[in-house]
Each structure stands twice: as structure tokens, then as C-alpha cells.
Amino acid sequence: MDKETKVVYVLLTDTGTLFTKIIKWFTNAPYNHVSIVFDEELNEIYSFGRKDPRNPLIVGFIRQDVYLGTYRYFYNTRCLLLKVEVSSAEYIRFRSVIQNFNNNKDIYSYNFLGIVGVAINCPINQRNKYFCSQFVAEVFEKSGLSLWNLPSTLVTPNDFLMNPYFKLVYEGRLYDYPLLDKEFLSITSMDQILERGVTY
């Protein structure tokens, strides 16, 4: 990789929840959630999803935590990690777009109607509301990379999988990903995590 280039990652996941099974019934695609990632170790992940891992209705802009977030409740989550090389200028724009979302995170919520729009191929754009693939597609677009001839409100997680612009890094069970902290993952219950002083 040229020293002037950076890497941005995209993480596709399937937790197997009822909601994701419903989405898969419509899409017939292997993955139904997508996040943008800034490091190969999966320490910095952003998307639109559950703010409370135990409540699928409280949804918005989130920084996901592989170790203590929603995925800990779905230990057999499958994933596919993709990467793309970007210029330094594009990478700075990616960071700026994410920082803007983070600075205003309390105004954002989930574009549930947008999911319906995808199902009927009719883009539904609501102010300050996003679903996961709409969000990631818009981050790419605002950073100077328009990867589809589609509005972001019609982009699905499967569109990332099928786009030749991305290169495969890993596919398999999320918690088998080799760069995760295996010692931490050996703590399997929330009680054990809390006993070790980790706040959830």
C-alpha cells in the first residue's frame, strides 16, 4: 500500500435476530447489517443500530463495541469484512463526516420507513433518519466516493458485498476473527465482565 493511501473497512453482519430474519426474507441476502470501520482490529465501528443491545426499538447513530455491545448477545454472529484503499484527503473527509454525525448523534434516529422503501424500490428519505446501509453509503458519498448509481436510500448491505471496489479481508464467525482479543472473549457472561470492573 502506498504511504499516501489509507484503508477504510466495511463490516457486514448477520446476528440471526427476528428482525434480521425478516429483512433477509425480503432481501434474500446473506448479511443484513453494515457498519463502517476505521481499524483492522475492529475497535472503531460506526453504524445505525441498537443503542440498547436489549431493545431493538431504541435505534440511532452508534459506535459499536464488538466486546460489550449488541454482538455479545448474539455470540454466533456471522460477518464479512471488506476493505478499500482511499487517498489521504478522502480519509480525512471520512473522519470529518463521522465526527459530524457523532457531534450531533442525539438528533438522529432510524429510518424504518426507508426499509419499506427499499422493499418496494421507492427511496424514502427522512430528515435526520437513516438505516445502516443508507448511512454507510452516504458517508462514502460525502467523502467523495460514489459507488453506485443509486440514492443512498436504496443501497442495501448486499450492494457492498457485490461491489468489486471492495476487497475481502475475512468471512466467518465474528468471534473467530483472528485479530480480536481472545483473552477478553473468553469471558462469556455479563456477570463475569462486571466482576472484572468493565462497565457496560
Domain coordinates in residue numbering, the chain: 5-195
Helices within the chain (DSSP H only): 18-27, 88-103, 112-119, 132-142, 157-162, 182-185, 190-195
Contacts of 84 (CB under 8 A, 6+ apart): 7, 8, 9, 10, 145, 165, 166, 167
pLDDT digits (tens, 9 = 90+) for 129-143: 999 999 999 999 999
Question: Does 198 have pLDDT greater than 50?
Answer: no
Q: Which tens digits make up the pLDDT trace of 52-107?
A: 887 888 899 999 999 988 898 888 999 999 999 999 999 999 999 999 999 999 99
**For residue 183, which of 165, 171, 198, 168 has the smallest C-alpha distance?**
198
pLDDT at 154 over 50: yes
Helix residue ranges per DSSP H, 6-105 = 18-27, 88-103
Backbone angles phi, psi at 132, to 5 degrees: -60, -50
Residue 143, number of CB atoms within 10 A of its CB: 21
DSSP bridge partners of 109: 129
Domain 5-195 grouped into CATH 2.20.25? no
